[in-house]
Structure formats: C-alpha cells, structure tokens
Amino acid sequence: MRRADRGESLVSLMLALSLSLGIVLSAITLTVQAELLHQRARQLSLLEDQAHQVIELIERLLQQAGYVDVVKPMPVQAARPLEGAIDGADNATVSGNSQVGVAMAKSVSLASDLLLIQLRGDDTGTVINCAGFSIPAASGPNDLTGRSILYVGLDPANEPELRCFFRGSSQWSSQALASGVLTFQVRFGLDTDNDGLPNLFVGPSKLSDLTAHQKVSDVSLRTRIVAVHIALLMRSTQRLGSSILLKPFLLFGDLPQMCANDLAADEQVLPSQLKSYRLYRQFDKLIFLNNSLRPDA
C-alpha cells in the first residue's frame, strides 16, 4: 500500500531559509570586501606609478643643473648658472608671473615647498625642461627659457597636484605632473667640508638665512649644494569605501639623521591633517647632482 506524501514542516522551512540567507549575506560581505581591497590596490598602484614618474622627472632635472656646454669656446658661452641653478622656497606656490620673474604666494596644501631649477640649453637640444620641451641655448645671463619651477597647486576640483611652471619662447605656462600630491618638501644637501658629500641638510628658508649671514668674502653656500632630498606625500584622488586607520608621516624617513636636528612642522604630517577615507603613501629620495655648481670646479 502507497504511503501518503508529506510536506516539510514550518520549522525546517524557516531553518533552511535562515541558512540560505546567512550564506547569501556572507557572499555579499566577501564581495564587498574584495571590491574594497581591489579599489585600494588600484589606488595604491596609481599613487606609486605617479610618484615614481615624478621622482624620475625631478632627478633628471636636478642632474641637468649646472651643465656647461664644453664644445663652445668659453668667450661665447652663456654665463654659468652658479647660485641661481637651484633654489626654492618654503610654504610657497606660484600665483602669477611677469617678464622679470614669478610671483609667489603661500602654499595651498600643507605648507608645500617650491623648487626652482635653472637650466642652460645647448645646440643639441638634449637639455629639456619640466614639461619635456627642449631648451634652446641661452642667449645671456638673464635668459629665463630654461627655468623650471615645481610646486603644489589645485586642480579644478580643488584636489592638490604637483605642477610644472616653465617659460616658453614667449610666455610662461603651467602643466600638471601628478595628481594627489598632498605635500612636496625639499632639503638641500650642502658640502661644507669639501669632501664631495653632503654633511648638512637644510630647507629653503634655512639656506637663505645662512647665505644672508655669510661674509661677502666667503664662498656662497648655494654653490656648495651637492644633493637634494625630496619628499612627497601622495593621497588617493578617489574616496575609499571605508575609513582607514591613519598614522603620522615623517616625510624624510623614520630616522632623518641627515636632516635638521629637530623636525620642522612641515617635515611631518599628523593624522588630524588627513582624511580617513583617503589612501596615503609617502615617498622620498636623495638625489645627487651630476654637475658641480662651484665656480672653481
């Protein structure tokens, strides 16, 4: 005799639904976490790519500073850019320009520095500025066509970016180099004991102070620059899906023995100055100059 079919009980049905719902929720949670990790990895990759490109550009510019075209006879050579080859300013950005120079204002992002590199072109066109254009041979000591200025500005969405300010054949132009540069810091490495290596690192303002207090007969400290230490704090341009735990950033490394004895306010960034829904990475590099800036070298 056939047994009568029986349905599932309400308790077993509710248990099955609860288990299914738990599995679905777990799958959704894992999917969301995987998307967040992918988003962070993508943003981190973008930050690292831009930082490495910018550092490579700055390294190339600095290694061109002080270049002299040895093919030309000395009498027709343009004046060598000694003291003016490398300069900078603390807490500064470009705010305008004129025929004789560039007007500056306070930085728009975390007291970022401004770095000025004066280059001299040659007849081969191998010397290029921060925008990638060849610099023509200098026509005289006041020729500004080889001047490249790096600073932090704001894009149309008020996001900080590292910008290149350069003088073309007839006017000044500005070009974005990398987005998400929250701060850009510079320290000049001075060789004060004539061994060819930097033994004192100072910021732009400190260098100006030391130079101003030198005797007229002394060799300018600006001609003693043999290296430049640069630091970048990069920030993701997109908001992350969840907040992250922020930490202080020491822009010139955890053990900045080669910098000033005491950390200046612009050499460190505190969590209170950051946004918890952004990704941050710090980069720094010590760049040695290829060409001497000393007149007797």
Q: Quick: pLDDT tens for 133-167.
A: 888 776 665 565 688 999 999 999 999 999 999 87
Average pLDDT over residues 72-85: 60
The values of phi and psi at residue 98, to 5°, are -145, -175
Q: In what order do the strands lie in the sheet with 181-190?
A: 200-202, 181-190, 225-235, 280-288
Residue 37 — very low, low, confident or very high, per pLDDT cuts 50/70/90?
A: low
Residue 227 — very low, low, confident or very high, per pLDDT cuts 50/70/90?
A: very high
pLDDT at 190 (0 to 100)? 93
Residue with tokens 């080889």: 146
Quote the mean pLDDT of the chain. 81
The three-class DSSP label of residue 274 is coil
Say how far apart CA 109 and CA 276 lie, in whole Å: 17
Give whole-number Cα distances, 153 to 104, 109, 245, 266, 272, in Å.
12, 8, 27, 17, 21
Percent of the chain residues past pLDDT 70, beyond the cut: 78
Spatial CA neighbour of 251 closest among 151, 150, 61, 111: 111
Average pLDDT over residues 8-35: 73
pLDDT at 144 (0 to 100)? 57
List all residues 6 or more positions away from 144 whose beta carbon is below 8 Å from its beta carbon.
167
Look at residue 238 and tell me whether its pLDDT is greater than 90. no
Look at residue 257 and tell me whether its pLDDT is greater than 50. no
pLDDT at 256 (0 to 100)? 44
Helix (H) or strand (E) holding 88: strand 86-89
Look at residue 44 and tell me whether its pLDDT is greater than 60. yes
Query: Which of 57 and 213 is assigned the larger pLDDT?
Result: 57
pLDDT at 159 (0 to 100)? 92
Average pLDDT over residues 116-131: 84
Residue 225 — very low, low, confident or very high, per pLDDT cuts 50/70/90?
A: very high
Query: Which of 7 and 215 is assigned the larger pLDDT?
Result: 215
Could you please report the per-residue DSSP string of 229-270?
EEEEEEE-SS--SS------EETT-SS-TTS-SS--GGGEE-
Q: What is the pTM of this model?
A: 0.81
Query: Which of 276 and 2 is assigned the larger pLDDT?
Result: 276
Look at residue 107 and tell me whether its pLDDT is greater than 70. yes
List all residues 6 or more positions away from 238 whose beta carbon is below 8 Å from its beta carbon.
39, 43
Beta bridge partners of 103: 96
Look at residue 60 and tell me whether its pLDDT is greater than 90. yes
Look at residue 297 and tell me whether its pLDDT is greater than 70. no
Look at residue 75 and tell me whether its pLDDT is greater than 60. no
| Low-confidence winner among 119-128, 140-149, 161-170, 244-253 (lowest mean pLDDT) | 140-149
Give whole-number Cα distances, 62 to 74, 130, 161, 271, in Å.
23, 10, 20, 32
Say how far apart CA 188 and CA 198 lie, in whole Å: 9
Look at residue 262 and tell me whether its pLDDT is greater than 50. no
Say how far apart CA 295 and CA 180 lie, in whole Å: 39
